[in-house]
Amino acid sequence: MSGAFNNDGRGISPLIATSWERCNKLMKRETWNVPHQAQGVTFASIYRRKKAMLTLGQAALEDAWEYMAPRECALFILDETACILSRNGDPQTLQQLSALGFHDGTYCAEGIIGTCALSLAAISGQAVKTMADQHFKQALWNWA
């Protein structure tokens, strides 16, 4: 992406452009490192603290997935630190995301994985859509 346009010339949102500017200072687009993951006692503690939110969130996630089931997608619940607390979705899609390191406990903050829907949603507090080369990291360009 050069300037405020995608490779195909489409304009991008200021949220994505600003994220790219921050990411350019922190990381390389070409390099993908498996994101840091909270595990064991650490993840259990995070999960326990968020139990009330997860009880409601998982029910909503399951209902949303029931509606979206024919689609090849994944739905995640993140906490305020952008840690994945729960995942649901198409099994093959979840497997492909797992190969990139997206598991329960994975941190999806912008400073770790670059510009993508997960990191932007954590920053903005609302759903965000990123397509192909709007992702900062090239490893995520196949994802929409």
Domains of the chain by range and CATH? 14-140 (3.30.450.40)
Give the position of tokens 């050069």. 2
**According to DSSP H, which parts of 9-109 are helical?**
14-26, 40-49, 51-68, 91-99
- Helices (H) and strands (E) counted in the chain, each on its own, are 6, 2
Overall pTM > 0.95? no
The Cα 143–Cα 117 span in angstroms is 10
- Taking only the tens of pLDDT, the chain with its 144 residues reads 444 445 444 678 899 999 999 999 999 999 999 999 999 999 999 999 999 999 999 999 888 888 888 889 899 999 989 999 999 999 999 999 999 999 999 999 999 999 999 899 888 888 888 999 999 999 999 987
pLDDT at position 3, please? 45
Per-residue model confidence (pLDDT) at position 1: 43
